[in-house]
Structure 1
């Protein structure tokens, strides 16, 4: 098996900004350092963490690795790069305690400063620590690499985590007591406001000046993958706009005015947790600058005459993923998502009037299509 290639975080991203690593990568590095000390007697200054894709790794600094009465402890200072992130600079710590049988699965526990899930809709069951599935898998891999098994009780904490969490959506999400351990790729792509908006503008201008039949705007991987599969467009016509929906549309409109090239189709594809926010007038969908989209989902459902209990449940849901679950199997679920897609497309078209057609495609986190419509 080919070992993973090491990513160098000191090299800038294509937009010139500095990448960082997630809280999930930080916790995994701390666990690996603790286990290296516990199992092999090593006190590393840095450890290599395998990323979720299995193809790449990160070499991350660790500190304060030490044995405890029941196992071992280590810390990692989370570096978010140039991304605006409430957890940037936070100290994540991990304790690892061996379980009595090496065949037992790893158990996860919330230490001080890491939240506990208290409401459904998160990808972690109620009562569990707010450690998402991908970081859990990364930590299992780390244990297998070091010890050959995963039979450890792992507690993850964060210094001042409860105060940090108040700057996030965690309290609204029903995650109480601290931060979440997150990350689907292990990497934080730099998306700081002015610099990233400037890079989005450049990408959009390059796309438009190539005079394509379609331009694709997408917040992230879901929409990008769909666009590559569904449309025969060149790579430069697919722009990852992150949270900057309004800035991307303004750049598109300006570039079209400059070139005089009529754009036949703008495809905007992604998760409704991002895209439905424009129905609330939120054009920067970062959680620091926008509300959440469940009220928009409920409002559209109510406008369609969906039954009252379902509308109320949508409005009271703690995430849009919970809304997806509520509407899955509902007799009018597909109709709700199609109408949301139509209203989002209409809203986007008002801001990008030089585009002939705007198509919106909505996806669940697992990549399943939810709804698609044009305006």
Structure 2
């Protein structure tokens, strides 16, 4: 969809919890690329640009702080990161792009100062590449195409950086993930949803009350978007029966129990659907899975592997993985992988159940980052 057919996305409209949304680092980097290209190719210095979002109906207007020509023909543009009401280590940071022609006919991505480089497997970007995730890369490619407006693409080098990004990254999981030298350029929608605040917890209670209001046979919790299609297509749940709980598993269970008690009702099944990176943290009694308030889950999933008798070298490999998604990749080669994930699902469900005595059955289903079922769901059909 071309830019002319998109509508502006209004950041002034609050999220459902009444809080302000923001711009992802991916949107900021894309805006910097577009501003730099506009000066490089058209000789125009702009104060704002339109960034095409992954949702084909919208673009985001992003202010540009500074644009300047560099030695050697490159152009640099800077954009301030804005996180809205979401607590974010990169809020207020200066994201920049340095753009130059490479005469290769292709767009190439580089890490400038303050953006990290991936050094270990298990992330969405392979080792050796700058820590710029796939969706931001796609958004930057769109920006290139939009500025070219049909002209031949000579090829461009896009070096994405962050002022003081190496310092900011120390407050994130990047060092543990094997991302060295700075922050990651992230985002799947281009928009920061303010999900990690106390006010979001209050809104979750409202969503749970709505989900339980018509006394359904089942409802589902999802930390994010992973598992939504399973809830709709396999479980047959209505949209209002699927509650996105972000990181707040514990309080969501408490809200559910409280609501059922007030209704003097019971719930047949409570589902928890999502990626084991968050859900496996419950094995350690962690009920708020935000990365800033909890550790990573590799130790927990390694302990399960040891408990079911996996070979010591495999257990060590799991324990040393840099992400749980890397564990998913490691387990793909194991014949017992599905049973392993099923074991984690059942252990987590057993830990959840005592917090919701008015629920007859708690069930967990785990999925990889691309939505592929890992445990029980891998043997089910929609």
Length-normalised TM-score, structure 1:
0.96
Map 1:2-21 to 2 at 5 A: 3-21=5-23
Three-state SS of the structure 2 residue aligned to 1:242 is coil
Of 307, 311, 314 in structure 1, the residue corresponding to residue 315 of structure 2 is 311
Say yes or no: does 1:93 pair with 2:96. yes
Deviations 1:65-89 (A, max 9, x none): 1122222110111111111111111
Give the Cα separation in 1 of the matches to 2:239 and 2:158. 42
User: Equivalents in 1 of 2:316, 2:369: separation in Å?
Assistant: 23
- The CA distance in 2 between the partners of 1:41 and 1:350, in whole Å, is 65
Q: What SS does the corresponding residue of 2:256 show, helix, strand or coil?
A: helix
* Corresponding residue for residue 152 of structure 1: 156
Query: Equivalent residues in 2 for 1:90-129 (5 A)?
Result: 90-101=93-104, 103=105, 105-129=106-130
- Helix, strand or coil at the partner of 1:273: helix
Partner SS, residue 341 of structure 2: helix
Q: Distance in 2 between matches of 1:248 and 1:364?
A: 23
Correspondence for 2:131? 130
How far apart are the structure 2 equivalents of 1:150 and 1:299? 52
Instruction: Kindly state the Cα deviation for residue 123 of structure 1 after the two structures are TM-superposed.
Output: 1.4
Give the TM-score normalised by structure 2.
Answer: 0.94
1:185 matched residue in structure 2: 189
Q: Tell me what 1:221 maps to.
A: 225
Q: 1:131 deviation in Å?
A: 0.8
Higher mean C-alpha displacement, 31-40 vs 53-62: 53-62
* Residue aligning to 2:344: 340
User: What is the CA-CA distance between 1:150 and the residue it aligns to?
Assistant: 7.0
What's the counterpart of residue 26 of structure 1?
Answer: 28
Match of 1:40 in 2: 42
Partner of 2:380: none
Which of residues 78, 83, 90 in structure 2 aligns to 1:80? 83
On the 8 A contact 2:103/2:154 being kept in 1, the answer is no
Q: How does 1:205-216 map to 2 (within 5 A)?
A: 205-216=209-220
CA distance in 1, matches of 2:6, 2:307: 51
Aligned pairs for 1:231-310 (under 5 A) are 231-310=235-314
Q: How far off is 1:280 after superposition?
A: 1.4
Is the contact between residue 77 and residue 89 of structure 1 (CA under 8 Å) also seen in structure 2?
A: yes
Which 5+ residue runs of structure 2 have no aligned equivalent?
Answer: 378-382
Deviations 1:286-306 (A, max 9, x none): 110111111111111111101
CA distance in 1, matches of 2:52, 2:297: 33
Question: Offset of 1:234 from its aligned partner?
Answer: 2.5
User: Are 1:143 and 1:150, in contact at CA under 8 Å, matched by a contact in 2?
Assistant: no
Return closer, same or farther for 1:233/1:124 CA change in 2, 3 Å cut-off: closer
What is the alpha-carbon distance in structure 1 between the residues aligned to residue 324 and residue 57 of structure 2? 31
Q: Deviations over 1:141-163 (max 9, x none)?
A: 11111124371111111111111
Q: 5+ residue gaps in structure 1?
A: none
Give the superposition deviation at 1:109. 1.2
For 2:69 and 2:184, locate their aligned partners in 1 and report how far apart those are by CA, in whole Å. Answer: 25
* 1:233 Cα offset (Å): 2.6
Q: Secondary structure of 1:221's partner?
A: coil
Structure 1 position 71 matched with structure 2 position 74:
yes
| Number of equivalences | 371
Q: 2:353 aligns with which of 335, 340, 349?
A: 349
1:221-268 alpha-carbon deviations (Å, 9 max, x no partner): 112222111223332211100111111111111111111111001011
Cα deviation, 1:41-86, whole Å, max 9, x if unaligned, reads 1111111111123332111111211122222110111111111111
Q: Please state whether the residue corresponding to 1:190 is helix, strand or coil.
A: coil
Deviations 1:178-220 (A, max 9, x none): 1000111111111142100111111112222221111111011
Equivalent pair of 1:82/1:192 in contact (CA under 8 Å): no
Deviation of 1:372 (Å): 2.9
Number of the residue aligned with 1:49: 51
How far 1:370 moved relative to its partner?
0.5
The CA distance in 2 between the partners of 1:347 and 1:54, in whole Å, is: 41
Contact 1:207 1:238 in 2 (8 A): yes
Please give the alpha-carbon distance, in whole angstroms, between the structure 1 residues aligned to 2:178 and 2:235.
Answer: 39
